[in-house]
Chain A
Amino acid sequence: MASGSVIDPIHQFQIIKIVELGQPGGVELAFTNSAAFMFGIVALVFFFLTFATRGRTLVPGRLQSLAELSYEFVASTVRGSAGNEGMKFFPLVFSLFIFVLTANMVGMIPYAFTVTSHLIVTAALALLVILTVIIYGFVRHGTHFLHLFVPSGVPAFLLPFMVVIEVISFLSRPISLSLRLFANMLAGHIAMKVFAGFIVMMTASGVVGWFGAVLPLFMVVALTALEFLVAALQAYVFAVLTCIYLNDALHPGH
């Protein structure tokens, strides 16, 4: 390692074991900072929603408006993408949306850990969605669910290729769903850290560096704003794509 001021943009993703739980069955288990943040997010969301709605007032206050707004927003998204039938998945979509959104936003707090910047977390959430789609699709429609892979109105000689393409596109859904969220959070946080590192580096090199550091400072400010946008947008995109995939389970072979 080099001497001097070293900025390590990867360090923020480090998993720190808080309590080791031994190795049952050869796998290492521990209560980590990631787990602590997950429970923190759950507690934050739950207490916010219950605290905000404690008055149950007819004319909502600020917090209650926010809680109702999040409810209405997700509900309209579900209804718009998956129809009224999709409302049975509303608690799932709402949980996913609020979890991802809160995790992204908590991650924007300096020194906080970003849960969604870990591939295994986003992959687990995406797998949850896609397994829900597959299981519900087969339970509800039986083999008719496979019509999803057979687009209608395609010439017979093209059909095999189309089926292969559809299957591949279906299988790539959980991958793209998880990687999109993971890589967006990862790349954004690395970029912010790198530019923040430039500021430290430049200020270390004297008075001229202080003026030079103004540029990366503006960059960091802009990036922070962009990252807030990305944090909200990726949660929204995650929820919308979940709804679209659930719509496939509800109405296959459209």
Chain B
Amino acid sequence: MSEPHGPAGIIVAQASPGTLPAASGVEIAVPAAEAHGSNFPPFDVHTFPSQLLWLVIAFAALYLLMSRVALPRIATILEERHDRIADDIEEAGKLKAESEAAAEAYEKALASARTKAHGIATETRDTLAAEAETRRKSLEADLNVKLAAAEVQIAATKTAAMANVRGIAVEAAGTIVNTLIGTTPTSGAVEEAVDTAIKG
């Protein structure tokens, strides 16, 4: 950025020792201003009118270009994006609501299915229990009938057996008496004696 040998101004100079005042490596030299402030460009009034003129033109052009072209353009881009994002957010919200509704419906279906299943289970249990009860009852009745029949049969068998026993006893008694005493008792007396013994 350094451009040597400019016109008068602040001069930071490393000069040959002969030309400088003693003990001074740095000299700030300001020549007397011929025209007012002309040695310091920012304070040079001669350049002011043209700078002002061009600044006005340039800044007006910039303002017009910015306000008419560039800024509306960026604004529309940002707005579009904003709208798009808002739309997307809205849609996402809608989808979320939908999914929530679906989840709720699922939950409801699940609950109803559960109650239904519970009902079915209870019903099934009840019917099964009732069925089992009836089956048990019929079985019991059946068994009772069979028991009764068996008892009757037992009684009959017993009676028959008793009769057989009596016959055998009479015969045996007759034979024994015959063997012992050699006489054959009358069958009527033997039967009477056996009956007395059985009853006794």
Contact = CB atoms under 8 A, between A and B. Distances in A.
Contacts of A15: 41, 44, 47, 51
B63 A91 contact: yes
B51 A6 contact: no
B62 A46 contact: yes
A53 B14 contact: no
A112 to B, nearest CB: 9
B9 interface: yes
Contacts of A27: 49
Given A11-B6, A29-B53, A194 B12 contact: yes
Contact of A7 (B11, B58, B67, B71): B11
Given A4-B16, A28-B50, A53-B74, A10 B41 contact: yes
B84 interface: yes
Interface in B1-42: 1-16, 19-20, 27, 29, 39-42
A38 B50 CA distance: 12
A185 to B, nearest CB: 10
Contacts of A194: 10, 12
Contacts of A193: 1-2
A94 B49 contact: no
Contacts of B49: 27-29
A196 interface: yes
Interface stretch (B75-83, B113-121, B157-165, B176-184): B75-83
Contacts of A111: 1, 3
Given A28-B49, A42-B59, A45-B66, 12 more contacts: A2-B27, A7-B12, A11-B6, A15-B51, A39-B58, A46-B70, A58-B81, A91-B67, A193-B1, A201-B12, A201-B14, A204-B14
A99 B5 contact: no
Contact of A6 (B11, B55, B73): B11
A203 B150 CA distance: 139
Interface size class of B (residues with CB under 8 A): 35 or more
Contacts of A197: 2, 12
B136 interface: no
Nearest to A115: B55
Contacts of A124: 52, 55-56
A120 B13 CA distance: 30
B90 to A, nearest CB: 17
B71 A90 contact: yes
Interface of A: 1-15, 21, 27-32, 34-35, 38-39, 41-42, 45-46, 49-50, 53, 56, 58, 60, 64, 67-68, 71-72, 90-92, 94-95, 98-99, 110-111, 117-121, 124-125, 128, 182, 186, 190, 192-194, 196-198, 200-201, 204-205
A182 B70 CA distance: 28
A194 B63 CA distance: 36
Interface of B: 1-16, 19-20, 27, 29, 39-44, 46-56, 58-59, 61-63, 65-67, 69-71, 73-78, 80-81, 84
The main secondary structure of chain A at its interface with chain B is: helix
Given A35-B51, A120-B52, A193-B1, A98 B13 contact: no
A2 B29 contact: yes
A95 B63 contact: yes
A99 B70 CA distance: 14
B9 A30 contact: no
B53 to A, nearest CB: 6
Contacts of A64: 77
Nearest to B77: A56
B15 A3 contact: yes
A119 B55 contact: no
